[in-house]
């Protein structure tokens, strides 16, 4: 049962089914069937976890929350959707599907509001929504980070307190600024190559900004702006963390974590810069083909210089010889993949210029989408 896609009739059917399951379960103690996030019915506005609990016969049920910053719907470094967990108060177990190693303040945010549904010392939702439409409006404002209450984001608020607890008095205030940073459209800093915020999430088989995908003009403009803004925010975050390291404002307990964060943001700064420059070329070359003009030889040379820079940085990353203990790559997943993506697509663009074909012939086969 999904919050947005499950209509009221389907939810009621599922509720009755699972109520019967809870009644006939052989083992009722300490067994908690898990459901995805559930808020309000769409039409009659009944609160769904209250409805689920109405005829429940076993010890209880749990809720698995994919509410953003989860590697699926977004990769924000910090969000405050946990302040809305009061809505699921009948659940006996709650799992937050976010809070990775770059999101430690978010881990504390989740803990704060699972312990204090209504009485946080920092911020409590006033005028709590009582219907689906107004709740979802607030929920998406928290998830996008466009809504930023002072009690969470302001000076002396939750972020400051959390970061001082995590990183110490000297580094804490600066680290809180890293989590406050945002771009024009609330872009966030990028510490990983596999990242929803730059359209490179794990479930994308073929990225939208590949050269042999003829994007609409507005899509090109929007994608270029996303990369420009992501680069600016990531570079700012890198400079903050780098200053903590250079000024030795870390503690013995936080030194390795902060140095890894710095190095990850350094990678993100390079990657977003290359993606932004690539998209600016994408825009220029695409416009020339639309206008029926032959791209100048100088443009080919500029693309060649970008390709050389990416290749040099790829060699730099290889030379670091860092091996993740996660067999799937962990925080380092897709670093080389993204360098390969850039080099291949820059090469395609150069081929288009050389052959005067918008879609060149020498293309790889597209990756076939896989399931879970």
| pLDDT tens-digit readout, 339-357 | 999 999 999 999 999 999 9
* Residue 327 resides in a domain: yes
* Residue 372 resides in a domain: no
pLDDT for position 293: 85
244 and 307 both lie in a single domain: yes
Interatomic CA distance for residues 78 and 20, integer angstroms: 39
Mean pLDDT along residues 59-87: 95
Mean pLDDT along residues 129-154: 97
* Residue 117 resides in a domain: yes
19 and 146 both lie in a single domain: yes
19 and 98 both lie in a single domain: yes
Say if residue 176's pLDDT is above 90: yes
Work out the mean pLDDT of the chain and round it to a whole number. 94
Q: Which domain holds residue 194?
A: 188-355
Say if residue 184's pLDDT is above 90: yes
pLDDT for position 204: 81
* Residue 103 resides in a domain: yes
143 and 198 both lie in a single domain: no
pLDDT for position 369: 61
Q: Left (φ > 0), alpha (ψ -120 to 50) or beta: where does 121 sit? A: alpha
* Residue 106 resides in a domain: yes
* Residue 169 resides in a domain: no
Taking only the tens place, the pLDDT of each residue in 13-53 is 999 999 999 999 998 888 899 999 999 999 999 999 999 99
Share of residues in the chain with pLDDT > 90 (%):
88
Could you list the beta-strand ranges (E) of 71-123.
Answer: 93-96
Say if residue 372's pLDDT is above 50: no
Share of residues in the chain with pLDDT > 70 (%):
98
117 and 266 both lie in a single domain: no
Interatomic CA distance for residues 237 and 222, integer angstroms: 22
Q: What is the DSSP string of 196-210?
A: GGGT--TT-SS-TT-
Taking only the tens place, the pLDDT of each residue in 247-294 is 999 999 999 999 999 999 999 999 999 999 999 999 999 999 999 987
147 and 281 both lie in a single domain: no
Say if residue 202's pLDDT is above 90: no
Taking only the tens place, the pLDDT of each residue in 131-142 is 999 999 999 999
Going by the DSSP 8-state scheme, the letter that residue 156 receives in this structure is T
State the alpha helices, DSSP H only, in the chain: 8-24, 48-53, 104-115, 132-144, 150-153, 158-180, 217-246, 255-290, 297-320, 335-355
* Residue 1 resides in a domain: no
Count: domains in the chain: 2
34-36/62-65 β-pairing: parallel
198 and 114 both lie in a single domain: no
110, 126, 153 — which closes off a domain? 153
Q: Which long-range contacts (CB under 8 A, 24 or more apart) does 193-196 make?
A: 193/267, 193/268, 193/271, 193/332, 193/333, 193/334, 193/335, 193/337, 193/338, 194/71, 194/333, 194/334, 194/337, 195/75, 196/71, 196/72, 196/73, 196/74, 196/75
Say if residue 3's pLDDT is above 60: yes
pTM recorded for the entire structure: 0.94
202 and 128 both lie in a single domain: no
* Residue 123 resides in a domain: yes
193 and 282 both lie in a single domain: yes
pLDDT for position 5: 77
134 and 192 both lie in a single domain: no
153, 177, 196 — which closes off a domain? 153
213 and 270 both lie in a single domain: yes
Q: At what angle do helices 217-246 and 158-180 cross, to 10 degrees?
A: 120
Say if residue 190's pLDDT is above 70: yes
316 and 256 both lie in a single domain: yes
Q: Is the dihedral of CA 191, 195, 197, 199 positive or negative?
A: positive
């Amino acid at each position: 049962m999904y919050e947005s896609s499950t209509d009221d009739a389907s939810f009621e059917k599922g509720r009755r089914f699972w109520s019967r399951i809870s009644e006939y379960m052989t083992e009722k103690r300490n067994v908690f069937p898990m459901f995805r996030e559930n808020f309000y019915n769409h039409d009659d506005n009944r609160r769904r976890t209250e409805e689920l609990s109405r005829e429940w016969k076993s010890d209880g049920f749990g809720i698995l929350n994919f509410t953003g910053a989860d590697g699926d719907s977004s990769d924000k470094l910090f969000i405050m959707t946990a302040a809305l967990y009061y809505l699921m108060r009948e659940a006996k177990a709650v799992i937050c599907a976010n809070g990775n190693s770059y999101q430690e303040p978010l881990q504390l945010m989740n803990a704060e509001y699972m312990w204090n549904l209504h009485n946080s010392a920092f911020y409590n939702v006033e005028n709590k929504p009582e219907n689906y439409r107004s709740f979802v409006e607030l929920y998406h404002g928290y998830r996008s980070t466009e809504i930023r209450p002072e009690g969470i984001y302001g000076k002396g608020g939750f972020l400051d307190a959390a970061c001082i607890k995590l990183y110490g008095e000297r580094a804490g205030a600066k680290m809180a600024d890293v989590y406050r940073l945002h771009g024009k459209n609330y872009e966030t800093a990028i510490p990983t190559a596999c990242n929803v915020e730059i359209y490179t999430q794990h479930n994308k088989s073929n990225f939208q900004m590949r050269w042999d995908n003829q994007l609409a003009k507005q899509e090109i403009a929007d994608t270029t702006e996303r990369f420009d803004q992501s680069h600016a925010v990531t570079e700012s975050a890198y400079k903050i963390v780098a200053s903590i390291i250079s000024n030795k404002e870390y503690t013995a307990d936080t030194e390795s974590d902060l140095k890894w964060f710095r190095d990850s943001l350094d990678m993100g700064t390079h990657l977003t810069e290359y993606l932004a420059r690539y998209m600016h070329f994408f825009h220029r070359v695409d416009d020339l083909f639309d206008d029926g003009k032959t791209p100048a030889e100088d443009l080919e040379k500029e693309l060649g210089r970008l390709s050389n820079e990416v290749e040099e940085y790829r060699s730099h990353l290889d030379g670091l010889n860092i091996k993740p203990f996660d067999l799937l790559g962990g925080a380092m997943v897709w670093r080389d993949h993204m360098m390969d993506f850039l080099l291949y697509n820059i090469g395609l663009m150069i081929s288009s210029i050389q052959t005067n074909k918008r879609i060149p012939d020498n293309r790889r086969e597209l990756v076939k989408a896989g399931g879970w």
